[in-house]
Amino acid sequence: MTMETDRSLAASQDLGLAQKPPMNKYALCCALLASMTSVLLGYDIGVMSGAIIFIQEDLKLTDVEIEILAGILSVYSLVGSFAAGRTSDVIGRRYTIVVAGVFFLAGSLFMGFAASYTLLMMGRFIAGIGVGFGLMIAPCYTAELAPSSSRGLLTSLSEVFINVGILLGYVSNLAFSGLPLDLGWRIMLGIGVIPSLFIIFGVLAMPESPRWLVLQGRIKDAKKVLGKTSESEEEAASRLADIKSAVGIPEDCDDDVVSVPKHQSNGSGVFKELLFKPTPSVRHIVIAVIGINFFQQSIGIDAVVLYSPRIFAKAGITSSGKQLLCTVGVGIMKTLFILVATFTLDRIGRRPLLLSTIFAMFLSLFCLGTGLTVVDQVGDTATWAIGLSVVAVLAYVASFSVGMGPILWVYCSEILPLRLRAQGTGIGVAVNRLFSGTVSMTFLSLSKALTIGGAFYLFAGISVVAWLFVFFLLPETRGRNLEDTERLFGDLSWKKKEKQLASAKASI
């Protein structure tokens, strides 16, 4: 451990744990624009929850066809998430955002004009590629742009916009539900072109990621971006020195453009380093990335959000209008509580929020399973069980929005080393979308096999395993420079490493 590295670590800890500097407005604006790509996924989830009611009636589809239609976008997004890592290493983070917007725009138009189930599935495929690109690139770009003091807040904006998109989708369901059957759902899906256009043109106002610029050897351009996104010249110089060190550029090299090895600049050989011959620290990081993405989806969030009208119907709310109105309430609750996360991530830390909210999700899922089981057995005469089910759904989405929802994107973008970040994030997103699609496409069948209450008892059991995973494997990353977090990984003695790094800081 060098003295220079210790000073960098101490500075990053001071930023995160001591007096917090004011928010950099330029970095905030860039993060807002980048995070708008997450609206695409959120809108699709939200609008599809209500649209499938009308699609099923109009196209005479079975429950199996409906659950495949609803969940297949997540599987299709695997294509985008796998391609996005290498694409963003080659053409840059900024233009990868444009790619995401273009694909989702084309997919929305295709779905809006679809005349059959087959054409609708083709539109889902095109839109899914866009969602995969967007989910991977938004947190990656924001984490690389943001100073460490506000990285948690800015990176969590991706989840904020997912929730905004879900709420917009729910509102769209309610707004267009009164139109003729064959027109309403097509408009619900087709107006997804509007956020896509905002994203495509919003990129024009955004700079490139300074870390990607350094990977291309464009030191002068990186300095300009860091100067705008840092609070002082000293902070910008410190961030640039850390990035150059991570890339292998000598700290005293001040040329405007330098030569960087090809394998560094274009991301070649990354999968070998990530999956086939990882160092102990990289192996630990990959396990953390895959694990947290797996658990975020396997505890059933997409089942609750996507099928909330059916859940409320099972809970005894029979009117379709009231079901959609309750669903809008879910969207409002998710959106409000995600704001809690954005303002506490950099104050409380990642681990405390994860552990407390996963426990809260376990309680909510257990109560939801109990309420639905009682209603299923005795009918809607058990008004207390109906109330318990509704409250449990709201508590569950609120807990998710404070913890697993936003922290996933923040944490994964923080712990991956610079050269591995884009493609490593892509692997995480692929796992996330794979299990999102699995849950979405099997929930109706699962609820028939286990009963709907039994399905939520299963999700509650998985949440217990998720809590143990976080407790034993995930170290705290609050306030640390992105170039420092890798040092916390490698074995299960990360708590000891934290104390050693704190001692090193105190001795400076």
The vertex-444 CA angle with 39 and 401, nearest 5°, equals 35
Give me 498's structure tokens: 């934290």
Answer whether CATH 1.20.1250.20 is correct for domain 267-494. yes
Domain boundaries of the chain, sorted by first residue: 26-256, 267-494
Q: How far apart are CA 364 and CA 300, in angstroms?
A: 12
Q: How far apart are CA 334 and CA 412, in angstroms?
A: 21
471-477's contacts with Cβ under 8 Å and 24+ in sequence apart are 471/355, 473/284, 473/287, 473/288, 473/291, 474/288, 474/292, 474/350, 474/351, 474/354, 474/411, 475/351, 476/349, 476/350, 476/351, 477/350, 477/411, 477/414, 477/415
Cα-based distances in Å from 221 to 34, 137, 206, 210: 19, 20, 13, 8
What is the torsional sign of CA 57, 62, 64, 65? negative
Phi, psi dihedrals of residue 257, rounded to the nearest 5°: -135, 130
Give me 184's structure tokens: 């309403």
What is the torsional sign of CA 368, 397, 20, 223? positive
Q: Which candidate, 188, 49, 35, places its Cα nearest to that of 101?
A: 35
List the chain pLDDT tens, one digit each, 508 residues.
Answer: 333 344 444 444 444 444 556 777 888 888 888 888 888 878 887 888 788 888 888 888 888 888 888 888 888 888 888 888 888 888 888 899 899 989 989 998 998 898 889 999 999 999 989 888 888 888 888 888 888 777 777 877 887 888 888 888 888 888 888 888 888 889 988 888 888 888 888 887 889 988 889 888 888 898 999 988 887 888 888 888 888 877 778 777 777 777 776 555 445 567 778 888 888 888 999 999 999 999 999 999 988 887 877 788 777 776 667 777 777 787 788 778 887 877 777 788 889 999 999 999 999 999 999 998 998 888 767 788 888 988 999 999 999 989 998 888 888 878 888 778 778 888 888 898 889 888 988 888 898 899 989 999 999 999 999 999 999 989 888 877 766 777 788 776 666 666 665 565 555 5
Query: Are domains 26-256 and 267-494 of this chain identical in fold?
Result: yes
Left, alpha or beta for 421 (phi > 0: left; psi -120 to 50: alpha)?
A: alpha
Give me 139's structure tokens: 């947190």
249 three-class SS:
coil
Residue identified by tokens 């089942």 is 303
26-256 — its CATH code?
A: 1.20.1250.20
Give me 186's structure tokens: 């097509």
